[in-house]
Chains A and B, each alone.
Chain A
Amino acid sequence: MPSDTDSFVEEARAFLDTHATRRTGGGQAVQWGVGDDQVAYFSADPPDVDAARVAEAKAWQKVRHDNGFGWITGPAEFGGRGLTSVHDLAYDALEAEYDVPDTSVLSLIGLGMIGPTILTHAQEHIRRRYLPAMYAGDIIACQLFSEPGAGSDLASVRTSAVRDGDEWVLSGQKVWTSVAQHAAVGLALCRTDPDKPKHRGITAFLVDMAAPGVEIRPLRQMSGGADFNEVFLTDVRVPDDHRLGDVDGGWAVALTTLMNERASVGGEGAAGPAGRAVSLPFLAELLRANGRLDDAAARRELAGLYAEVAATDYLNHQSLRRARAGEQPGPEASVSKLMYARNLTRGAHFAAEVVGPRLVADTGEWGTFAWAELLLATPALRILGGTEEIMKNILAERVLGLPKEPGIDTKSPFRELRRSGRGES
């Protein structure tokens, strides 16, 4: 561990003491029936509340940035601090002790995934233009990767980019785009040569989300809210200097983003309202309040759930400690993601069973129908950020060394590959 970490932590503590308030009491005691009974995973906020939250997040990121904590690992020339991930983790651990606005609208996609990609693949003046603004909380970035026909098989994107002098003209449809409605810029994967094999005809562009031809439509998910968007690109003109990486070299750019995604999603703890679904004190209160403390079947399920949740926490803590010691992240990120989805899903179904018929309709009773949103959000956990099936392929092939499935065509021109549905090419 670098010897300067102690003084860095001291400085960070002084900064947080000045600009934030420390959490009190640790929030351990559960007060049943008091306050908000929300256990939602996705925000179900109306647009004005959502906008206020985004403004708060940006403002806090700005304060971090102005005090040297906006981009701890970033190079100084782009507004970063030039320190190591050890410092970054130390800061995160410290900030968790304080009550500060949730900045995931900026950080999860933009700062966590798109920023590092721009840093690695963009030209100097583009980096200067976007990175300082992003890490100062001025602008939000989104990821224009998935398409209706390119989910797990991301390399089969069809959104086209055609060169026109110093510009490119983009047309196509992106889907499942988080924070697009708040974003100033998006990283798009486009097909630039359909006659090459699918991985070799893709190019990456930074798209101005306010440019003519960009249309953002909220995508309502099964839990009722609209946390994602569809983004339609119709003859959107992008200057060539906004291209990341080589022409037809976009797959390497995508891999940079995806590598950072796995780290970003896997490390997600069970914080927020949904964390109640995997909290032993909260679930014990749930049993008590429903007169089920002596129910052997319920107790056993709770113990089984608690054991898995605690063990997953131990795994995450141990990975974090190794990361702090400077070790490269191992396969734990995929394991953590699988376990996170499994545990939260199990917790939601456990709560549903305890609440019983009061989850069928909203009776108005505290802590009952509130579980509906989480229950309806759980299918997403097994899909977003890489499906369970893809995660298992990664573990089996890259960690255990099992052979790839034969017959996956990576050589034919993209144009000749089979598509879903009508099957014309």
Chain B
Amino acid sequence: MTGDLDVADGRIGEAELEELRAATRDFLTAKADEAAVRAAAASDRGYDEKVWAQMAEQLGLQALALPAEHGGDGAGMTALSVVLGELGRVLLPAPFFSSVVLAGTALAAAGDADAARRLLPGIAAGTTLAALAAPGRDGGWDLDGADARGGLAVAAEPGQCGVTLDGSAPLVVDGAGADVVLVVAAGPAGPTLCAVDGTAVGLTRTSLPTLDLTRRVARLDFWSTPATVVGEPGGAAGVLRRVLDVATAALAAEQVGGARACLDAATAYAKDRVQFGRPIGTFQAVKHKCADMFTRIQVADAAAREAAAALDGAAGAPDPGVAAAVAHVVCSEAFMAVAAENIQVHGGIGFTWEHPAHLYFRRAKSSQLLFGGPAVYHERLLARAGM
């Protein structure tokens, strides 16, 4: 029979995906235990530069899904999802999501060969860090959706060579440490993707206190900051739509990884913790909580996989925009619920600063809200489904 949905449409096989998962997990087990994650998150730059470099040199993770013609391996979303699941499992603080997923996808989608040639090989090698600013004045991402009402945060005016930017981007993931920042600015021709050097004159970057301790966010203020246009002037809406689909699908895989770590911790604790003379996992109140967590994760995992397969153009897969929006809703809510229940299964110990449960709770809520949160993602799903 033909027409079966092959993983990544034949780009990378099931066995290779398993190898990729094992290699990534082994690497992270060695380099990113809880102490290392906490130390990296608390460091000046917010991540471990050595580990970041090794990720690129030893495993080639940054290059994995980027276009082959610009230094990547073109392995597709299903492969990328495997990596993100592992990164999410340990909450690795690293500019992977910001540089590779957000900025990398924007550059690949912008159709600007020069900009791609200039920036993508460095991003793929991990030597260039790029960021993509949330375009909305309120931190929102949809240009055509519910949160477009806030308008664009940054305006682009024609300048001496390229454009100059003015405005404030309130939420830029890993924006403070990026070598290059991509901004969707309001230009004369409409929303326009622009690239700004991290050290450009007239750019002020302020690292912000964050809910999620393992992911940095900065505010960027632009005062007649010189920038170059990437892709067609006025053509950023389509780029952004693609970025949203890819980024929410990628985030979904990361969320499933985080949720699995929570369930693993909760079940291990329920087997070990004794109260009333028996492991608390023998009580149905606890047992059913764990079963509920498992059920949510199974469904979320299926949604994340389907979204990745759809974005890879796999045969028989649903519409990629719909599948990504479904995954974003289901995985956001599953991770949040599971992160909260993990603390409940642990009881008092789960509420301490020393216990890692809160790191997952923080990541869960932060990633649920990053692209607009429930009010926005429900409407985005209906819009993608044509309603």
Closest to A293 in B: B387
A304-B378, A311-B326, A402-B282 known; A389-B271 Cβ under 8 A: no
- The B interface is mostly helix, strand or loop, or mixed, namely helix
Q: Contact between A310 and B282 (Cβ–Cβ < 8 Å)?
A: no
Q: Which of A109-117, A160-168, A295-303 contacts B (4 or more CB under 8 A)?
A: A295-303
In angstroms, Cα B230 to Cα A325, docked, is: 45
CB of A36 within 8 A of chain B? no
Out of A302, A308, A318, A405, which one reaches B306, CB within 8 Å?
A318
Q: Contact between B378 and A392 (Cβ–Cβ < 8 Å)?
A: no
- Measured between beta carbons, the chain A residues less than 8 angstroms from B270 are 402
In angstroms, Cα B5 to Cα A317, docked, is: 10
Closest to A9 in B: B1
CB of A306 within 8 A of chain B? yes
B249 CB to nearest chain A CB (Å): 12
3 interchain residue pairs of minimum CB distance: A315-B302, A303-B378, A392-B291
Q: Contact between B282 and A404 (Cβ–Cβ < 8 Å)?
A: yes
Q: Name A's B-contacting residues (CB within 8 A).
A: 1, 5-6, 9, 90, 280, 284, 299-300, 302-304, 306-308, 310-312, 314-315, 317-318, 321, 324-325, 331-332, 335, 338-339, 389, 391-393, 395-397, 399-406
A38 CB to nearest chain B CB (Å): 24
Closest to A86 in B: B1
- Most chain A CB within 10 A, of B1, B329, B385, is at B1
Q: Contact between A403 and B299 (Cβ–Cβ < 8 Å)?
A: no
A-B CB pair tally, cutoff 8 Å: 135
Please encode chain B, from 265 to 305, with 1 for each CB lying within 8 Å of some chain A CB and 0 for all others: 00100110000001101111011101110110011101101
- Measured between beta carbons, the chain B residues less than 8 angstroms from A389 are 284, 288
Q: Contact between A308 and B330 (Cβ–Cβ < 8 Å)?
A: yes
In angstroms, Cα B302 to Cα A331, docked, is: 13
Q: Contact between B271 and A321 (Cβ–Cβ < 8 Å)?
A: no
A238 CB to nearest chain B CB (Å): 38
Please encode chain B, from 310 to 349, with 1 for each CB lying within 8 Å of some chain A CB and 0 for all others: 0000000010001101110110000000000000000000
Q: Contact between A315 and B279 (Cβ–Cβ < 8 Å)?
A: no
A304 CB to nearest chain B CB (Å): 6
Closest to A309 in B: B326
- Measured between beta carbons, the chain B residues less than 8 angstroms from A311 are 299-300, 302-303, 306, 326-327, 330
Q: Contact between B298 and A314 (Cβ–Cβ < 8 Å)?
A: no
Q: Contact between B287 and A397 (Cβ–Cβ < 8 Å)?
A: yes
- Measured between beta carbons, the chain B residues less than 8 angstroms from A302 are 382
In angstroms, Cα B327 to Cα A307, docked, is: 8
Q: Contact between A307 and B329 (Cβ–Cβ < 8 Å)?
A: yes
Q: Contact between B284 and A406 (Cβ–Cβ < 8 Å)?
A: no
In angstroms, Cα B382 to Cα A315, docked, is: 21
- Measured between beta carbons, the chain A residues less than 8 angstroms from B387 are 280, 284
Q: Can you name 5 A-B residue pairings with CB atoms under 8 Å?
A: A307-B326, A391-B291, A402-B281, A403-B271, A405-B282
Out of B263, B292, B298, B327, which one reaches A331, CB within 8 Å?
B298
- Measured between beta carbons, the chain B residues less than 8 angstroms from A1 are 1, 4
Q: Contact between B329 and A304 (Cβ–Cβ < 8 Å)?
A: yes
- Measured between beta carbons, the chain A residues less than 8 angstroms from B263 are 400
- Measured between beta carbons, the chain A residues less than 8 angstroms from B379 are 299-300, 303
- Measured between beta carbons, the chain B residues less than 8 angstroms from A400 are 263, 267, 290-291, 294
In angstroms, Cα B298 to Cα A331, docked, is: 9
Closest to A316 in B: B302
In angstroms, Cα B329 to Cα A236, docked, is: 56
Q: Contact between B299 and A315 (Cβ–Cβ < 8 Å)?
A: yes
Q: Contact between B298 and A403 (Cβ–Cβ < 8 Å)?
A: no
B131 CB to nearest chain A CB (Å): 29
In angstroms, Cα B279 to Cα A389, docked, is: 19
A1-B1, A5-B1, A396-B288 known; A403-B282 Cβ under 8 A: yes
In angstroms, Cα B375 to Cα A338, docked, is: 27
In angstroms, Cα B281 to Cα A403, docked, is: 6
In angstroms, Cα B300 to Cα A90, docked, is: 27
A1-B1, A9-B1, A335-B299 known; A395-B378 Cβ under 8 A: no
In angstroms, Cα B382 to Cα A254, docked, is: 46
A394 CB to nearest chain B CB (Å): 8
Q: Contact between B287 and A300 (Cβ–Cβ < 8 Å)?
A: no
A314-B302, A335-B298, A401-B267 known; A392-B288 Cβ under 8 A: yes
- Measured between beta carbons, the chain A residues less than 8 angstroms from B302 are 311-312, 314-315, 318
A311-B303, A324-B4 known; A280-B278 Cβ under 8 A: no
In angstroms, Cα B1 to Cα A9, docked, is: 8
Out of B284, B303, B329, which one reaches A405, CB within 8 Å?
B284
Q: Contact between A406 and B299 (Cβ–Cβ < 8 Å)?
A: no
- Measured between beta carbons, the chain B residues less than 8 angstroms from A317 are 5, 306
Closest to B146 in A: A296
Using A318-B305, A402-B270 as known contacts, list a sample of 18 further A-B pairs with CB atoms less than 8 Å apart, ordered by residue number in A.
A300-B374, A300-B378, A303-B329, A303-B378, A310-B318, A311-B330, A314-B323, A317-B5, A317-B306, A331-B294, A335-B294, A393-B284, A393-B287, A396-B291, A401-B271, A403-B281, A405-B282, A405-B287
In angstroms, Cα B329 to Cα A418, docked, is: 47
Q: Contact between A402 and B298 (Cβ–Cβ < 8 Å)?
A: no
B150 CB to nearest chain A CB (Å): 18
- Measured between beta carbons, the chain B residues less than 8 angstroms from A284 are 387
- Measured between beta carbons, the chain A residues less than 8 angstroms from B84 are none
Q: Contact between B382 and A299 (Cβ–Cβ < 8 Å)?
A: yes
In angstroms, Cα B300 to Cα A30, docked, is: 29
- Measured between beta carbons, the chain B residues less than 8 angstroms from A310 are 303, 318, 322-323, 326
Closest to B3 in A: A93
- Measured between beta carbons, the chain B residues less than 8 angstroms from A396 are 281, 287-288, 290-291, 294
Closest to A319 in B: B302
Q: Contact between A6 and B1 (Cβ–Cβ < 8 Å)?
A: yes
Q: Contact between A338 and B281 (Cβ–Cβ < 8 Å)?
A: no
In angstroms, Cα B318 to Cα A314, docked, is: 9
CB of B381 within 8 A of chain A? yes
B291 CB to nearest chain A CB (Å): 4
Closest to B303 in A: A311
Closest to B298 in A: A335
In angstroms, Cα B298 to Cα A399, docked, is: 12
In angstroms, Cα B298 to Cα A395, docked, is: 11
B279 CB to nearest chain A CB (Å): 5
- Measured between beta carbons, the chain A residues less than 8 angstroms from B5 are 317, 321
In angstroms, Cα B288 to Cα A317, docked, is: 26
In angstroms, Cα B318 to Cα A392, docked, is: 30
